[in-house]
Structure 1
Amino acid sequence: MSAFDYDVIVIGSGAAGLSAAIEAAETGASVMVVEADDHLGGATRNSTGVVYAADTKTQAEAGVEDSADALYDYVLVLNQYAVRPDLIRMYADRSSGMVDWLTSLGCEFPANMLVHSDVSGVERGHTSKTFGLGISDVLINRAGVLGVETALGTRVDGLLMEDGRTVGIRSGETELRAPCVVIATGGFGNSPEMLAKWFPSAAYHGERTWAVHRDAPFILGDGITLGESVDAQITGYDRGLIQPTPCFDSRYVEAFLPPWIVAVNESGKRFMAEWDSYAVCGYLINEQPGRRCWAIFDRKTMVENGDDLSYADPYNSGLATSSWEEITIEREVEKGVVHKADTIREVAAMAGLDADAVEETIRVYNRDIEEFGEDRVFRKDGNGRPLSPVKEAPFYAVEVRPAIIGFTAAGLDVNADMQVLDTRGKVIEGLYAAGETLGCFHGKRYAGGGTSIGSAVIFGRHAGTVAGEQALAARSSEPAA
């Protein structure tokens, strides 16, 4: 009788965990997926379902020319080469195949849902027709067909180790043994303690901070905790995606500021194109004094544009919500959260800003819009609408914080075969990782929308294949009963 219950145990059932389970099962390995929640799918099922890829059939259908080399170069340059070239190269080379694989499982990526999800100018964001739920559903179905077993409501609190290698997991009083374990537990956006330790830029905003995957309650950093218990290297300190919000209502998942506002820092000066991609906007705000900014606008512009949510929904998901509508703004004025006044100078002073500087900033902005019809300083795009000057009272000032966590990027270090490394850089035999629990893939700048799910699928598949093959090799070397 085998000393193991399964060949491969996967911890977590998001895109990374299910992809790993599928590929491990494809090798012929017996696989168990353990999930802390009461359903499969992890954070992926609640996402917009975008994957980031180059040189795909979808792009070709849309007439977009792209290549794996272009994607690779873009990510390296964006991060000033402070990323792992081997992992970026793997991602770039396998991204097209990742889309093909998901398509073969039943996921659709229509050409008319292809979007710009980075700052390269190339449409690389492949939106699933049925969004994140569609991706998770096809993965769940495929895992079921392959006979992958699942255990829900099972939070892993320990790894079993023998002679320096991983041989299983522990959940409470229950132990399951396997020669290979894949950690795919996601990030830690729902853990204030983990945020304080590993993502202080997000934790800085205190109670205003919350994560988009709050509906996946076990995104608590279990991968880091499990890794630390076996001396795994944790990397990616203070990295992740933070998105701007006026912090009015945590029901609103916002990634973009409206194009019709003017954002100024504490010095009263602009520092970005206000409708910059969420891949960079939060970082730009976080680099300002006090890690915040203020949105300045007038009532006329708000009323004329407040009902247009297209800026907030570039992926055409129909799921966009916004805090920037008149009824919400006026409610926050009554609460004293939003400042309102009859002059730019007065509203700036109410917000504690340099009134002279804000007046000059707005003067220059208005001049460029009225005389030249464009933002000549930051080249802001109006999202299909002409930009409007900010000049008719009353005026508003809204504090904006980069406080919504899109994902966390600190986590386990791995080699190119997704094997977890210890603090000396040595492989922890039998232990693999993929997905948001990795700390060695994302750099200081988010490459673009879809790299989170895309990397989960690509590296999850690779982890599953390697783990499955290693487990079968271990099984074949066991002495006969």
Structure 2
Amino acid sequence: MSTDYDIIVVGGGGAGMTAALFAQAAGASVMLLEADTKLGGATRLSGGVVYAAGTSVQQAMGITDSPQAMYDYIMTLNGWQTRPDIIRLFAERSAATVEWLVSLGAEYEWVVKSGVDTVPRGHCTVGAGDTIGRLLINEVGAKGIETALGTRVDRLLVEDGRVVGVHASGMDLRAKAVIITTGGFGNSPGMRARFFPSAAQHGDIVYSVHNDAPFILGDGIKLGEAIGAQITGHDTGLVLPSAGLVPNSVEAFLPPWCMLVNDEGRRFMPENSPYAVSGYLINEQSGAHAWAIFDEKTLVEGSADKRFSDPYHTGEVSQTWDEDLIRKHVESGKIRRADTLEALADMVGINRLALSETVARYNSDAQDGVDSEWAKQAPKYFPIDAAPYFAVEVRASVIGQTSAGLDIDTKGRVRDRNGVAIPGLYAAGEILGCVQGNRYSGGGMGVGNALTFGRLAGEEAAASLRVNA
């Protein structure tokens, strides 16, 4: 069979560039196709956190960790509703991902607890995702890997049950193997409704953090489905809490100075819970929403402290929860204000008796400087006792990651609907539907997946060429 390249990589984000680099390092000729006019994808737009265990960076900071501990945490958090073989592979190979980034010039001054785990595993890249994207782009250029921008793949070429290339820009490109790394589907309303209904339920206010990467449209799912690939991970992904006060804003972390309650007037989580769990908890409440409650004194004093919004040390601060912005939305009617808590409860449909009891307990804890019920960690506790009172609706309407997608085996090969590996087809990154279970494990899982499984796909695709030679 005559071919144009040994391997074609479809998608030029973190997973695609990594796959291309390691495939070429293993001796394969590679073509990298990207639908956008630039490389980088969702990885370059990310916070640059890489989830990994047992790294030299952790060791230098005195952090004791291991792949086994990472595996145990992810499997437990997800109630074993994810693949043990895939998670073990991820855990065991994650440290090598960080070491490789360090070898390319990435720097790490912080490793944080990016989920609800007890060990800091979120490796915060100095310069965030832009640094990772730039390092990978420079490496692709330095290695002379051929790229074609503005090239969107229409379909996979299949002969005798084997993927032998792609059709893109009106022409066929043939290869011995194809790696799909097209990212998720966060920018596609149709795909969200089909594969991520718990996010899509919020309607027009749903927004993806990948909005500036216009081709995060689920192309990989369409390409795979057309040839019989298994699509797994239905209704999984990362949803972030948002008050929606700033259009298309990414908040991720709610301020620690508010009190969050459901329609029943009860608290149900620490207000500053990691976004790895907070969005899911909000979606599980009546009406799939919650109310941030605070008073006038808290608004004035609490809103001045923006430290809560940048735990990953990216230098960015929250675009929302400013005093002036909140007062503006009070006047617009989007935020409710009342002179008594009872009136506020009636105004927004909260059980007023339960809210009164919840506030009484909350205020008692605030006076003691400790959250006795939900163990919220806050620099200062503000009682809710100075009228007027405010209520801000919060929904889990921002998509941080979609996690439905292609199924792979431990060699990165895409499986069909019968669980059989499709010859010549590999995948990595957000297009995978078998990495995240029913919970996002912590900040850095997305980038960690892209780079770790991108490397796996590149190495295994190149290795298959030698076997089939």
TM-score, normalized by length of structure 1?
0.96
Moved segments of 4+, more than 6 Å: none
User: SS in structure 2 opposite 1:247?
Assistant: coil
Give the corresponding residue for 1:380: 376
> How do 1:68-83 and structure 2 match up within 5 A?
68-83=67-82
User: SS in structure 2 opposite 1:456?
Assistant: helix
Does structure 1 residue 463 correspond to structure 2 residue 457?
Answer: yes
Q: 404, 410, 432: which is aligned to 1:410? A: 404
Q: Are 1:312 and 1:322, in contact at CA under 8 Å, matched by a contact in 2? A: no
Separation in structure 1 between the aligned mates of residue 301 and residue 237 of structure 2, nearest angstrom:
35
Give the corresponding residue for 1:479: none
> How do 1:2-401 and structure 2 match up within 5 A?
3-110=2-109, 113-370=110-367, 372-382=368-378, 385-401=379-395
1:251 offset after TM fit, Å? 3.7
Q: Pick which of 202-211 and 93-102 moved more.
A: 93-102
Separation in structure 2 between the aligned mates of residue 310 and residue 316 of structure 1, nearest angstrom:
10
Give the corresponding residue for 1:427: 421
Separation in structure 2 between the aligned mates of residue 418 and residue 42 of structure 1, nearest angstrom:
20
User: SS in structure 2 opposite 1:465?
Assistant: helix
Separation in structure 1 between the aligned mates of residue 303 and residue 149 of structure 2, nearest angstrom:
43
Separation in structure 2 between the aligned mates of residue 186 and residue 308 of structure 1, nearest angstrom:
35
Measured on the aligned residues, the alpha-carbon RMSD in Å equals 1.0
Separation in structure 1 between the aligned mates of residue 268 and residue 49 of structure 2, nearest angstrom:
29
Separation in structure 1 between the aligned mates of residue 40 and residue 98 of structure 2, nearest angstrom:
18
Separation in structure 2 between the aligned mates of residue 155 and residue 299 of structure 1, nearest angstrom:
52
Residues 170-226 of structure 1: CA distance to partner in whole angstroms, max 9, x if unpaired?
A: 114111100100000000000000000000000000011010010000000001000
Residues 46-77 of structure 1: CA distance to partner in whole angstroms, max 9, x if unpaired?
A: 11100011111111121111111111110011
1:376 offset after TM fit, Å? 0.6
Separation in structure 2 between the aligned mates of residue 187 and residue 59 of structure 1, nearest angstrom:
30
User: SS in structure 1 opposite 2:324?
Assistant: helix
Q: Are 1:309 and 1:322, in contact at CA under 8 Å, matched by a contact in 2? A: no
1:146 offset after TM fit, Å? 2.2
Separation in structure 1 between the aligned mates of residue 246 and residue 298 of structure 2, nearest angstrom:
22
Q: Pick which of 404-413 and 123-132 moved more.
A: 123-132
User: SS in structure 2 opposite 1:403?
Assistant: strand
Separation in structure 1 between the aligned mates of residue 60 and residue 269 of structure 2, nearest angstrom:
34
Q: Are 1:253 and 1:320, in contact at CA under 8 Å, matched by a contact in 2? A: no
Unaligned stretches of 5+ residues in structure 1: 477-481
Q: Are 2:336 and 2:344, in contact at CA under 8 Å, matched by a contact in 1? A: yes
Does structure 1 residue 438 correspond to structure 2 residue 432?
Answer: yes
Q: Are 1:293 and 1:400, in contact at CA under 8 Å, matched by a contact in 2? A: yes
Q: Are 1:29 and 1:468, in contact at CA under 8 Å, matched by a contact in 2? A: yes
User: SS in structure 2 opposite 1:161?
Assistant: strand
Q: Pick which of 395-404 and 170-179 moved more.
A: 170-179
Q: Are 1:294 and 1:398, in contact at CA under 8 Å, matched by a contact in 2? A: yes
Q: Are 2:246 and 2:319, in contact at CA under 8 Å, matched by a contact in 1? A: no
1:145 offset after TM fit, Å? 2.3
**Counterpart AA for 1:292:** H
1:472 offset after TM fit, Å? 4.2
Separation in structure 1 between the aligned mates of residue 246 and residue 461 of structure 2, nearest angstrom:
43
**Counterpart AA for 1:318:** G
How many residues are paired up?
469
User: SS in structure 2 opposite 1:389?
Assistant: coil
1:473 offset after TM fit, Å? 4.2
Separation in structure 2 between the aligned mates of residue 473 and residue 68 of structure 1, nearest angstrom:
30
1:11 offset after TM fit, Å? 0.5
**Counterpart AA for 1:105:** L
User: SS in structure 2 opposite 1:321?
Assistant: coil
Q: Are 1:412 and 1:420, in contact at CA under 8 Å, matched by a contact in 2? A: yes
Separation in structure 2 between the aligned mates of residue 143 and residue 470 of structure 1, nearest angstrom:
22
Separation in structure 2 between the aligned mates of residue 472 and residue 34 of structure 1, nearest angstrom:
23
Separation in structure 1 between the aligned mates of residue 270 and residue 318 of structure 2, nearest angstrom:
21
Identity of aligned residues (%): 51
Residues 337-378 of structure 1: CA distance to partner in whole angstroms, max 9, x if unpaired?
A: 1000111111111111111111111111101221x3211110
Residues 25-49 of structure 1: CA distance to partner in whole angstroms, max 9, x if unpaired?
A: 0011100000000000111111110
Q: Are 1:303 and 1:325, in contact at CA under 8 Å, matched by a contact in 2? A: no
Residues 450-480 of structure 1: CA distance to partner in whole angstroms, max 9, x if unpaired?
A: 0110011111101001111223444x3xxxx
Q: Are 1:11 and 1:34, in contact at CA under 8 Å, matched by a contact in 2? A: yes
User: SS in structure 2 opposite 1:7?
Assistant: strand
User: SS in structure 1 opposite 2:395?
Assistant: strand
Q: Pick which of 13-22 and 351-360 moved more.
A: 351-360
